[in-house]
Structure 1
Amino acid sequence: MSDDSEPAENISGGPSGGGIAAEFEPSEATTRAEAVVDVLGGLYWRKTYGGQDAFECLVRTILSQNTSDTASQPAHDALMDRFGGGDLVEALAGAQRNDLAETIQSAGLYNRKSEVMIAAAEEIREEFGSESQFDAFVRDEDSETVRSRLLEIDGVGPKTADCVLLFSGGRGGVFPVDTHVHRIYRRLGIAPPKADHEGVREILEGAVPAEKCGFGHTASIQFGREYCSARRPACLDGPEACPLYDLCERVGVDEVSETVVDPAEVESG
């Protein structure tokens, strides 16, 4: 396993964000998606997840929507400094929207995000009673029940729900799909070029062993940042520049003209 620590600014919270380091011996992969995850697990880290407070994870993921970790991390830290230290559900359910919006302004869309978080806290307090009871629900109920309930909360989409299942519930077989994952696995040719986020998720969760989905998700995000960016993927610098070159179909990437388009824009034929 790589000696590199998982960056604390990842949505998983890095080394202090729950879960434990684990060894997974790369086997003879049965799918190309599993082979990709094996390479990424050797390049970055292998970790099983679970253990984060469920509501804090929900808040953290809402803050990350439509923005970068560079912007959302300070907002999360400021929120926890101001409202943490006790029952976070109770604190946010009783928060004034303007106060919360001011606290999280670095995350962008702070008025909408503050509304979503306060409404979610009120809904969770009414149904579950407290932060600890919500944690127990996320940990102990079956995954489909938890996911369905989370998706009923205004402002919570599939990626947010899946992050809570993974980082708080410790569920194997959950592979959240953010913009990096969506781009990478269509560019690799593992998912169809026009697949939406849910389509990519279904393919990955069916093709990657359950115990590898968690680190597959976080390592894919890191790979997207370091190698497979939207505008200039590393493969444009030559085969040796990308550790996944031999596993990739480079859909939407023209190495000769050095042009890059979203895989969905590639003409079929």
Structure 2
Amino acid sequence: MPEEPAENISGGEAGGGTAAMFEEGDAETRAEAVVDELGRLYWRKAYGGQDAFECLVRTILSQNTSDKASQPAHDELMTRYGPAKDLAETLAAADREAIADAISAAGLYNQKSKMIRGAAREVVSEFGGSEGFDAYVREEDPAAVRDRLLEIHGVGPKTADCVLLFAGGRGGVFPVDTHVHRISRRLGVASPDADHEEVRRSLERDVPAAKCGFGHTAMIQFGREYCTARTPACLDGLDACPVSALCDRVGVDPESGEVVDPVEATSGP
């Protein structure tokens, strides 16, 4: 397993965004209460403002790898191609093997280099380049933008949602990665057998739009620091977890130390 960073880059000091301000009050759902508690533990940020194409590239680089591995790949790619006038145009015309060399710190770099160059060519062909793509992501209907992003080879739901959140600043978007998927089902705020899309719909329904952005980034950090896949903090005692009072611990038995996927804990023999 790759080593995880001490801080979630998308939500931490280097992640951009501004402080998310909202009135404190009684949470209307357990999912909102969880997000409020994680916001107190980590950070509250409203996102938006990142360049949409660069955000797309960065999220592709993060697929199936950690921030610690994908960040150097992103930085090297930007060093080689970022100073150009239009990143999409430059990458669309770049040698695929040269892109792969630039992003070699990230996993699956040959596959990702094809995705990045293909996405760049599509952005240039349909939107005229990075600027037109950025305007499209920020200004058009979010549902339509999401559907269009999903048509780009290599772009899945989480990648599309990250572009909507971090570039478009769209409220009510709660990207679901492996941490969010695991934690939501373990907590009991989503069904044990929910897939990533079902978890996303549950969270976007139950968490106010203004809190979805920092809910996403804080839940990732919480998953790395406390609610890990194999050894969640509650195994050391319920007091070891800051949200234990809000958690059903589906698939986790602190007494026996057994930890299974939530769907296994609720399935019949």
Could you say whether these structures have the same fold, taking a TM-score greater than 0.5 normalized by the shorter chain as the test?
A: yes
1:24 to 10, 22, 25: 22
Structure 2 partner of 1:244: 243
**What is the count of residue pairs matched by the alignment?**
263
The alignment's TM-score, normalised by the length of structure 2, stands at: 0.94
Kept after mapping to 2: 8 A contact 1:8/1:15: no
1:265 Cα offset (Å): 1.3
Is the partner of 1:256 in helix, strand or coil? coil
Kept after mapping to 2: 8 A contact 1:181/1:217: yes
Q: Distance in 2 between matches of 1:8 and 1:232?
A: 17
Q: Distance in 2 between matches of 1:259 and 1:178?
A: 23
Matches within 5 A, 1:1-269: 10=8, 12=10, 14-86=12-84, 87-268=86-267
Is the partner of 1:26 in helix, strand or coil? coil
- Partner letter of residue 17 of structure 2? G
Kept after mapping to 2: 8 A contact 1:101/1:111: yes
Kept after mapping to 1: 8 A contact 2:184/2:199: yes
- Partner letter of residue 178 of structure 1? D
Q: Distance in 1 between matches of 2:22 and 2:267?
A: 37
1:113 Cα offset (Å): 0.3
1:267 Cα offset (Å): 3.2
Q: Distance in 2 between matches of 1:31 and 1:94?
A: 49
1:19 Cα offset (Å): 2.0
Q: Which runs of 5+ in 1 are unaligned?
A: 1-6
Is the partner of 2:105 in helix, strand or coil? helix
1:111 Cα offset (Å): 0.6
Kept after mapping to 2: 8 A contact 1:8/1:16: no
The alignment's TM-score, normalised by the length of structure 1, stands at: 0.94
Q: Distance in 2 between matches of 1:77 and 1:8?
A: 18
Kept after mapping to 1: 8 A contact 2:77/2:102: yes
Q: Which runs of 5+ in 2 are unaligned?
A: none
Matched-pair identity in %: 71
1:11 Cα offset (Å): 5.3
1:9 Cα offset (Å): 6.2
